[in-house]
Amino acid sequence: MIINRSSQYTLQVLMHLVAHPAGRPVLARELAEQLHLPPHYLAKLLQGPCRAGWLSSTRGRGGGFTLTPGTENLTLLEVLALTRGERLTRECLLGFKDCDDKTACVMHCHWKPIKQELLGQFGGYTLAQLASSRTRLPGWLTEKKPARRRKTAP
């Protein structure tokens, strides 16, 4: 779907850092603990925003992640475009790999205008707006989830 688990976690981290005091780096481990996210998965997810120039990371003592100035003005749509890539606009509601105007599934004509409207709405919300209105955000974006545990062999 449009907002998958990776997108949710990335949004949570970016919103947390927007609301965090500027200039003080936050360790990936601290972010994982505070947001109840899997630490190794989170470390991998932070690579995308760093490569995009939205975060800077510093290793060693006093290191961690900080927002690059201006990142707070990114829109929800821009974050989703980073985390989802071209799948954001091309993904089929029913999960078919080939679903576009030429090879449409049965839901394509109904879903396309809804998806376009939804993506347009996502372009109207910045990280700063989302971080400042945390109490009014949907539960899936703000709820504290326990980190998933790996299954061990019997």
Break the chain into its structural domains and give their ranges. Answer: 5-136
- As a whole number, mean pLDDT of residues 96-119 equals 83
pLDDT score for 146: 57
For residue 139, pLDDT beyond 60: no
For residue 143, pLDDT beyond 60: no
- As a whole number, mean pLDDT of residues 79-100 equals 80
Q: Within 10 A of 103 (CB to CB), how many other CB atoms are there?
A: 11
pLDDT score for 79: 92
Quick one: fold of 5-136?
Answer: Arc Repressor Mutant, subunit A (1.10.10)
Q: What is the mean pLDDT of the chain?
A: 82
**Whole-structure pTM value:** 0.76
Phi, psi of 26 (to 5 degrees): -120, 130
pLDDT score for 54: 93
User: Percentage of residues in the chain with pLDDT exceeding 90?
Assistant: 18
- As a whole number, mean pLDDT of residues 41-53 equals 92
Question: Of residues 2 and 124, which shows the higher confidence score?
Answer: 124
Confidence band of 85 (pLDDT split at 50, 70, 90): confident
Confidence band of 137 (pLDDT split at 50, 70, 90): low
